[in-house]
Structure 1
Amino acid sequence: MQLKEHYTNMWNEAFHHFERNMFEYDTLIDSVKDYRFGVTLIAKPSIETQLEITKMLNDLRQTEPDQYYYPLDDVHVTILSIISCYDGFKLSNINTDAYIDVIRKSLKNIHSFPIMFEGITASPACIMIQGYAGDEIEKIRNNLRDNFKNCNLETSIDKRYQIHTAHSTVVRFRHPIKNSNAFLEKIKQYRHHYFGTTEVQELEFVFNDWYQRHLDEHILARFKLPLYY
């Protein structure tokens, strides 16, 4: 299935739920007792793209101010979740240098690559920016899968699902939607909106919670990618 078709199917299914007021609400997003943590390789959109996304979030916030809107610094694209978040995971459980070595090996001969952010899709629980990336991102993911498979480090790669998209989650529902008709009309306005294209020249290996909050406080390593000429 082509990526655009996949995003469209996600949107159609989610919107079917939205029209019936069947939003899925996150009961843990405000909890101080949420101890789900993991480690992930991510990319971040350019400042220009982040600002364009923020314009949309500010617009949506006017209609539904009580939902969870991702702060600018937390907007990201998951390249691959190395250890998916689970309750009780601590950074002291792993040898971070060993993970960094495997990631560095996986990025050998990998160049920078563009991600185009255009349109939004959704699940019953959230709103996502659609991202479109070329073959380089799949090379990275496959290299990581192969190299971690051949070592004894703890991973949970692909155990939840095998990622093929380059989306960025930007809204999560945490309180009942008060004005669903106005909200649905507003998100439809952004269904095909162009948010910008980012040339990804750096990846970050991060220790993260379920929502990827406060990323700057948990960066374990940065990996520069040479420009592709």
Structure 2
Amino acid sequence: MNLQEHYNELYKQSSEAILAGNYKLDSQINDQNDSRFGITLLIRPNEVIKANIQLFLNELKAIDPLQYYYPNSDIHITAMSIISCYEGFSLDKVSIPDYVEIIQKSLLDLNEIKIEFRGVTASPSAIMIQGFPTDESLNNLRDKLRENFKKSTLEQSIDSRYAISTAHVTVVRFQEKLQTPEKLIAITEKFRDFDFGTFTVDKIELVYNDWYQREKNTIQLADFHL
């Protein structure tokens, strides 16, 4: 996949939908009874990149404070959704050491993962920072995880929603009617090619999480230092 082309097409379609009023609101963000949980292998950008992301978010908050903005604690790249969030999933259903073993096996001979964050894109329900791995290391890790988990009998739902191939970071979700869609798109246009920074991944985390990766609902299961 050509990531730049993918992000560009996504942005073109989604920005047009947003301006036409055809965006989608997330009705479950504030639902206290939302019981969708899962297990994710994720990467967190460094503090410099997160600070740059907040500069962008501050401009959006100034024109539309009612949307859901990700705090630094929740900003992440999904390396792999091992068990996609679903209602009623709990940790007592699985043996975490078995998952850790497969992930460690998949990390053997992994080359350095470096990710460049440049520009923003959108979906009909969210705004994302564009992530570009500098080589095939992240894709190679994902392929090894797919292969090793599919050989196992462990519960997993890898690629069940879609085959993950990007390295984006979701930073805004629409939860209320957009106050000024034109201004929102104008700010995203301003940051379309903004350099948020590049970092080398030094740690990958395995977590038990809710749909939005909120820190208060996240349980750290294992850290894998690279």
Alpha-carbon distance between aligned partners in 2 of 1:62 and 1:198, rounded to the nearest angstrom: 28
Provide the TM-score with structure 2 as the length reference.
0.97
**Alpha-carbon contact 1:208-1:215 (below 8 Å) kept:** no
**Alpha-carbon contact 1:115-1:198 (below 8 Å) kept:** yes
Residue 21 of structure 1, CA deviation: 1.4
Residue 58 of structure 2 aligns to a residue in which SS? helix
Aligned to 1:62: 62
AA aligned to 2:23 is: F
Q: Per-residue CA shift, 1:159-200, capped at 9, x if unaligned?
A: 100011000000000000112222221121111111000110
Residue 65 of structure 1 aligns to a residue in which SS? coil
Aligned to 1:23: 23
Aligned to 1:186: 187
Map 1:101-180 → 2, pairs under 5 A: 101-133=101-133, 134-180=135-181
Alpha-carbon distance between aligned partners in 2 of 1:8 and 1:170, rounded to the nearest angstrom: 17
Residue 185 of structure 2 aligns to a residue in which SS? helix
- Larger mean Cα displacement after TM superposition, 178-187 or 152-161: 178-187
Aligned to 1:88: 88
The number of aligned residues is: 225
**Which ranges of structure 1 fall in alignment gaps of 5 or more residues?**
none
Q: Per-residue CA shift, 1:115-151, capped at 9, x if unaligned?
A: 0000001100000000001210011101100100111
Residue 111 of structure 1, CA deviation: 3.3
Identity %: 41
RMSD across aligned C-alpha pairs, in angstroms? 1.1
Aligned to 1:221: 222
**Alpha-carbon contact 1:18-1:124 (below 8 Å) kept:** yes
Aligned to 1:33: 33
Residue 216 of structure 1, CA deviation: 8.7
Residue 198 of structure 1 aligns to a residue in which SS? strand
**Alpha-carbon contact 1:106-1:147 (below 8 Å) kept:** yes
Aligned to 1:6: 6
- Larger mean Cα displacement after TM superposition, 210-219 or 28-37: 210-219
Alpha-carbon distance between aligned partners in 2 of 1:46 and 1:95, rounded to the nearest angstrom: 30
Q: 1:45 to 1:65 in 2, by over 3 A?
A: same
AA aligned to 2:212 is: Y
Residue 149 of structure 1 aligns to a residue in which SS? helix
Alpha-carbon distance between aligned partners in 1 of 2:157 and 2:68, rounded to the nearest angstrom: 27
Residue 220 of structure 1, CA deviation: 0.4
Alpha-carbon distance between aligned partners in 2 of 1:193 and 1:90, rounded to the nearest angstrom: 39
The list of structure 1 runs, each at least 4 consecutive aligned residues, that deviate by more than 2 angstroms after superposition, is none
